[in-house]
Amino acid sequence: MSDQTYGFDTLQIHAGAAPDPATGARNTPIYQTTAYVFRDADHAAALFNLQEVGFIYSRLTNPTVAVLQERVATLEGGAGAVCCSSGHAAQIMALFPLMAPGKNVVVSTRLYGGTVTQMTQTIKRFGWSAKFVDMDDLAAVEAAVDDDTRAIFCESIANPGGYITDLRAVADVADKVGLPLIVDNTSATPYLCRPIEHGATLVVHSLTKYLTGNGSVTGGVVVDSGTFDWSASGKFPSLSEPEPAYHGLKFHETFGPLAFTFHGIAIGLRDLGMTLNPQAAHYTLMGIETLSLRMEKHVQNARKVAQWLEQDPRVDYVTYAGLESSKYFHRVEKVCPRGAGSLFTFAVKGGYESCIKLIDSLEIFSHVANLGDTRSLIIHSASTTHRQLDENQQRAAGADPEVVRVSIGIEDPDDLIADLDQALAKATA
């Protein structure tokens, strides 16, 4: 595409893509191949030396995946992106160039349960650690940073409660202490929120959710803003210092704004191997083409359902940030001007047992460990996605035992309300 500025709806269809030069195929083909033939020995050497951009082996790069990377980077306003096998893989890929044994990351207390487990348990195996802080307490965020901290991590719209983070305020803290801010933008998507515009350094997504939108594949992506100076502090030697595997090449010096992206491919995917397969990339590209249309409907439905739930006497409270009663309502216009998303929780009177009865009584809502589908989904986080956490951790994350999480789909909202109505009647009888 030319340098002309295009709107979001145009970019979600065209960014990164062009008719296939060999066949004229309009859809991006699925390049189902392991390896690529080099033009000659010099061409192969240049590729392996990172002197020329091209395709070597599909663990590293693939033409279908490359289109997806460029499209997501464009929609997020980033310099580049690296796709990988899942959202969890994207989080490890984002931290991998930054961390080392003994280093830590400051993370939000309001995170998806699997991310909490990853940050409290899994990263210990790398010798890393995490400090959990309420991102609304900016002084606490800054106080948690020490000489070994290498990043700050939060979610734009936090899973499961739908809480909205003041990204600019957190980014200002990150800038003050000279650290990159990593934002998981899965629940918002770039249609509702573009964290880089609020000062984020890196943006991660689970492609599995709204970007694909149909619950058919798993995938992840890391988007680099291209704005962070990796050489300024000496804290990020993987990016600023000579890389032995590439004859002393310095990624930041050589690739500038694309340093993190090239490192993610040339080191991250090469050594960790968390590759996104081309079929999954193809499904995600098709999903993104309708992202804006789906997100508008998701938000409309979520607002209507949340308003109904808030007035229902069988419900204690609703956490949807799009409600005027929410403490995060004032952030919607600033952080997510197109709406507060479609992910939130509500507390059922009767507690844990009533939540279980509610879930078992629903007919349209699907009881699954996923979100961001066209279908409306529900789960009791305390007994599933956040089950490995103790009750204090569950409550800090917004996954209280009396709470269910809903991901509102794009069905007829009146049908969703009727389904919840009959299920609540059974759950609280």
What is the CATH number for 163? 3.40.640.10
d(CA 159, CA 148): 27
User: Is 163 part of a structural domain of the chain?
Assistant: yes
At which of 237, 267, 287 does a domain end? 287
- pLDDT for 388 equals 72
Distance separating alpha carbons of residues 118 and 130, to the nearest angstrom: 10
For each successive 10 residues of the chain (429 residues), what is the average pLDDT? 80 93 91 96 94 95 97 98 98 98 97 91 97 97 98 96 96 98 98 98 98 96 98 97 95 97 97 97 98 98 98 97 96 97 95 92 95 95 75 75 94 98 95
Q: What is the residue whose two structure tokens read 């709107």?
A: 7
- How confident is the model at residue 66, as a pLDDT? 97
Q: State which of 287, 308, 334 marks the end of a domain.
A: 287
**C-alpha distances in Å from residue 285, one per residue of 179, 190, 323, 413:** 32, 14, 32, 27
Return the pLDDT at 3.
Answer: 56
- Domain boundary (287, 310, 336) is at 287
- pLDDT attached to residue 83: 98
pTM of the model: 0.95
- Long-range contacts: 267-272, Cβ < 8 Å, 24+? 267/96, 267/97, 267/238, 267/243, 268/82, 268/84, 268/93, 268/96, 268/97, 269/59, 269/60, 269/82, 269/84, 269/93, 270/59, 270/60, 272/89, 272/92, 272/93, 272/96
pLDDT at 330: 96
Which pLDDT value is given to residue 418? 98
Q: What is the CATH number of the domain that holds 329?
A: 3.90.1150.10
Q: Which residues pair with 205 in a beta bridge?
A: 221
Domain residues for the domain of 179 are 8-287
Q: Name the E strands within 44-115.
A: 80-84, 104-108
